[in-house]
Structure 1
């Protein structure tokens, strides 16, 4: 006999404006508790010291997480020039300091090398796995790791403000897997002055903006009430970068059972990944082939 799942079968996205000092996992657990939800996850980890958009998926929306994880994201962050740290941010111990400071033009010129398709080495203190263990666990034990560079698409990276010679405010729009701390570290090396992140904030992630975010204090206040449910965003928002097709009634029945089903589409090439709706709601993600959707993910 199947076990009954605890909690409510609530689905959708809750956009949290994460404060500093808490892990992304702890935020997800708080949201899951406050909504008494059966299932929850997040789309893109933020470091404990970071703030801003943390998109929490609930129920069926967890099936759309990859589409937010793969989407572009915007970060605004302050780089402290003149010092390198063990963690590449202000949380770590200072490894080395230097007195020279670049001018604004030198910073703007150096940023050009960090745009487009780049290779980026993760920070020593990161969640990257090394022989089955997290890099940050090994780094805490004093081990110096030789981490492999990873590809990152940087759509834009600009100098926004220079409050004083020791600080530079930057804004970056990038793809998945980017480490802001690595940008600050590598920029500091490129400029010859060293650098680390003083603070960072994720302004938006895919379709979700910081202005939509709800605070943890507000989540606590509205926990277990319909007023918190009212903050939920539909799971369909995560699919906005995919073409939409409409399932016929007979096609919807087949698709919901995981089988290819007839859909109505226009101007979509064979093999394109799409999402199908029926009566205004998403029912599946899959590949469009000769008038049918071949589902890869089905929403209950």
Structure 2
């Protein structure tokens, strides 16, 4: 009989395999860790693999900071063939000859770098009236999608053997690499679809740090939580504020405290003993609590600092 699920807190950097959904990978990891609460930080399509940070317990409160982080991908594109989904899971729409060489491909890439607009694909999890777009697409219903601003920080050709092209992309959250491949294909006049995709980085996390489900399963159950990163691992880009015992007590009670430094914006809060207790907004000479860890942990931190 499996023991009762435990309140596990932390971040698991998972190397999601090809062939399963992000949610299936999450549920498998959740089961292996025997965790109560879990969530992922942005989906990867079933045909894609790579870095999928998973948040457990209190870490789910801070998952938005990875959802909004920049992403890095290695993508493989097939020129000359367009599909209904923009990836290998869709039906072929058209086949055209590929006349473009590597120089032609290099020449069109600069137009996609920097701030640009994308129309989200119908086969995506983006919601319309509470339902994901892919449900409408499967029913043959086309929904009008306004273009969205995205940012391509870097777009570099890695391998070029037309009709197959491999490129690396660094982009803002919300960028659809399938759409990028389709747009590149359209610019070349032959069309294209994505045949492979690997996420290689999310924020400051790298794929090399990630663990596979197979490796997680191979560990004894008692050792699996050792792979978890701490709650604040997603927040290292934010400034640190070390609190006194009195400041800790006030903030965990929901009260603001005076703050003499000129720091503005979100900051990480640490109680005496270097215990992370959450986030506050710094400004106007005070710290205002914004997102704090659970009541039991906060009480323990307050007692430790008293």
Q: Same fold (TM over 0.5)?
A: yes
Query: How high is the TM-score relative to the length of structure 1?
Result: 0.92
Cα deviations across residues 236-290 of structure 1 (Å, max 9, x unaligned)?
A: 1111111111111111111122222356x75513xx2111112222212121135
Q: Which residue of 2 aligns with 1:273?
A: 266
Taking the TM superposition and a 5 Å limit, the aligned residue runs for 1:164-183 are: 164-183=161-180
Q: Which residue of 2 aligns with 1:36?
A: 34
Partners in 2 of 1:192 and 1:111 — Cα distance?
Answer: 14
Which shows bigger deviation, 130-139 or 84-93? 130-139
**Paired residue for 1:11, among 9, 12, 23?**
9
Structure 2: give runs of 5+ residues left out of the alignment.
295-306
Partners in 1 of 2:94 and 2:31 — Cα distance?
Answer: 43
Measure how far apart 1:226 and its partner are.
Answer: 2.5
**Paired residue for 1:258, among 241, 254, 261?**
254
Partners in 2 of 1:146 and 1:50 — Cα distance?
Answer: 26
Q: Tell me if the contact between 2:105 and 2:188 (Cα under 8 Å) persists in the aligned partners.
A: yes
Partners in 2 of 1:292 and 1:221 — Cα distance?
Answer: 48
Q: Tell me if the contact between 1:155 and 1:172 (Cα under 8 Å) persists in the aligned partners.
A: yes
Query: How high is the TM-score relative to the length of structure 2?
Result: 0.90
Q: Which residue of 2 aligns with 1:98?
A: 96
Q: Which residue of 2 aligns with 1:231?
A: 227
**Does the alignment pair 1:298 with 2:296?**
no
CA 1:101/1:234 → structure 2, altered by over 3 Å: closer, same or farther? farther
CA 1:282/1:291 → structure 2, altered by over 3 Å: closer, same or farther? farther
**Paired residue for 1:242, among 235, 238, 263?**
238
Partners in 1 of 2:278 and 2:231 — Cα distance?
Answer: 11
Partners in 1 of 2:251 and 2:7 — Cα distance?
Answer: 21
Q: Tell me if the contact between 1:252 and 1:261 (Cα under 8 Å) persists in the aligned partners.
A: no
**Does the alignment pair 1:288 with 2:282?**
yes
Partners in 1 of 2:153 and 2:261 — Cα distance?
Answer: 30
Q: Which residue of 2 aligns with 1:185?
A: 182
Measure how far apart 1:174 and its partner are.
Answer: 0.8
CA RMSD, 1 decimal: 1.6
**Paired residue for 1:137, among 131, 135, 138?**
135
Taking the TM superposition and a 5 Å limit, the aligned residue runs for 1:139-158 are: 139-158=137-156
Q: Tell me if the contact between 2:75 and 2:194 (Cα under 8 Å) persists in the aligned partners.
A: yes
Aligned length: 290
Partners in 2 of 1:243 and 1:266 — Cα distance?
Answer: 12
Partners in 2 of 1:290 and 1:141 — Cα distance?
Answer: 52
Q: Which residue of 1 aligns with 2:55?
A: 57
